[in-house]
Amino acid sequence: MRPMVATFAAAAFCLAASPSALAADAAPDGERAEKKICKRDLDTGSLVRGTKRCFTAAEWNRVAESQRTGATRMIDELSTRPGCAGAGC
């Protein structure tokens, strides 16, 4: 029982002295770092293999806007190519 208590006490001490914990305590409420939101992108054709990406909410909004802009640009370029007369091109 004593080794387990000593291990728990050492872990609690290390956690309390970690830089992230100290930084969070030192920063005022309005200046704390935004919480990261993690999402998993599955590889095409796989239900298991994928990539985990973590960003703040503002960063996720920039990623979504960038993807929308790229998709819109691609559609515009495909629909305005020479010899294309309409939506069926």
pLDDT of residue 78: 86
Instruction: Give me the pLDDT at residue 85, please.
Output: 58
Number of other CB atoms surrounding residue 20 within 10 Å: 9
Residue 22: per-residue pLDDT: 42
Q: Which of 6, 33, 39, 30 is nearest to 20 (CA)?
A: 33
Predicted local confidence at residue 79, as pLDDT: 82
Give the Cα separation of 48 and 85 in Å (integer): 42
What confidence tens digit (pLDDT) does each residue in 15-62 have? 444 444 444 444 455 556 789 999 999 999 988 899 999 999 999 999
- Report pLDDT digits (tens) over 57-83: 999 999 999 999 999 999 988 888 776
Where are any strands of DSSP class E within the chain? 37-42, 50-55
